[in-house]
Amino acid sequence: MQRKSALPHALLLRGRAGIGKHDFALALSRALLCQNTDSAQNPCDVCPSCLWLTEGNHPDFRLITPEDDEINEDAPKKKTAKKSQISVLQIRQLFDYLGLSSHQVQGKRIILISPADALNMASANALLKMLEEPPADTLFLLVSSQPQRLLPTIISRCQVLEMTIPSKTDAVQWLNTQNIQHAEAALDYAGGAPLLAMQLQEQLEPNNVLIKQLTQGAKLDPFSSAPAFLSLGMMHALETLQKWVFDLLTCTLTQQFHYHPQQASALQALGKSVNLRLLLRFQQMLIEAKKTANHPLSNEMQLENMLLQYTHIFKN
């Protein structure tokens, strides 16, 4: 870990979703705010600062995330959807906060924005003003899985730290310690991201049902298969199709597999009869369909059409 005095005023942690960037940012914050770190800069976890952070009320730490809509206390089971954006009000409130002195003498204040991708244009511009004239002894930590959504001017004012995925061996070993069943298959389906693999574990069994349908290629019955896909939600169905089609494409072109190495034989067999032009067109169709996946109208009809188009990408 870098010495505290050598840290920049803004640090952007970017990398694939599900690899632990947010947890790393919290661990870094804990180490920087700890009053009694060891020689390796590890936090003690027992000083008042560490305890405040654990309890979520450290006076020199602010976590900025997309706000939750308010919960109606009279109907606690009915909670509205989580907001997807960080509001300009959330950022503007930092101006007053940063105008105050830090709680600890010669201490550092930390503003953790996670995910920074959730900044809208107004909130991003408000943050940019702070980064252009950064307050003293303040570290902005930005976490991003989609840095292309950030303003280039924000990125230019941050020191970028690329967060890479762990090796497959290390990730599988860690997942096994978390009692994740079929850890390797879950990790493959998560694209190598171990935290995402934990989230997707429950999807593996129903996904295998869908994959078995897709291995039929041109013989798949779109109308009988659509309900099984739709039962898991339109977005899930499209993501399943996208991952399968991606592996079908890479298998056809390079004989490599990304998400479904366990289905290598089935993918290789399908690759022998696939029409590459139609496969690429179908892949683009899935990208467009995903943009409106949350629209509730005619999902079953749309999915039936998608599966019908899938059967057509194979040569008779």
Inter-residue contact 166 to 188 (CB < 8 Å):
no
In the chain, the amino acid numbered 285 is M
Residue 106 pLDDT more than 70?
Answer: no
pLDDT digits (tens, 9 = 90+) for 29-75: 999 999 888 877 889 989 999 999 999 899 999 999 996 433 333 33
Residue intervals in the chain for CATH 1.20.272 = 169-312
Instruction: Determine if the pTM surpasses 0.75.
Output: no
- Average pLDDT, rounded, for the chain: 87
Inter-residue contact 13 to 155 (CB < 8 Å):
no
Average pLDDT over residues 123-148: 93
pLDDT digits (tens, 9 = 90+) for 8-33: 999 999 999 999 999 999 999 999 99
Question: Residue 238's pLDDT band (boundaries 50, 70, 90)?
Answer: very high
Fold of 4-164: Rossmann fold (3.40.50)
Question: What pLDDT does 225 receive?
Answer: 93
Residue intervals in the chain for CATH 3.40.50.300 = 4-164
Higher pLDDT: 203 or 310? It is: 310
Higher pLDDT: 16 or 298? It is: 16
Residue 1 pLDDT more than 80?
Answer: no
Token couple for 206: 């129903």
Residue 105 pLDDT more than 90?
Answer: no
In angstroms, the CA 123 to CA 47 distance is 34
Question: What pLDDT does 103 receive?
Answer: 67
Prior bond to 115 cis, omega within 30? yes
Question: What pLDDT does 41 receive?
Answer: 81
Question: Residue 282's pLDDT band (boundaries 50, 70, 90)?
Answer: very high
Question: Residue 2's pLDDT band (boundaries 50, 70, 90)?
Answer: very low
Fold of 169-312: Zinc Finger, Delta Prime; domain 3 (1.20.272)
Residues 6+ apart with CB under 8 A from 5: none
**Which residues does residue 11 pair with via DSSP β-bridges, in sequence order?**
141, 159
Residue 81 pLDDT more than 90?
Answer: no
- CB-based burial, 231-241: b 16+ in 10 Å, e otherwise: ebebebbbbbb
Of 76-80, 128-132, 169-173, the poorest mean pLDDT is in: 76-80
In angstroms, the CA 257 to CA 250 distance is 6
Question: Residue 316's pLDDT band (boundaries 50, 70, 90)?
Answer: low
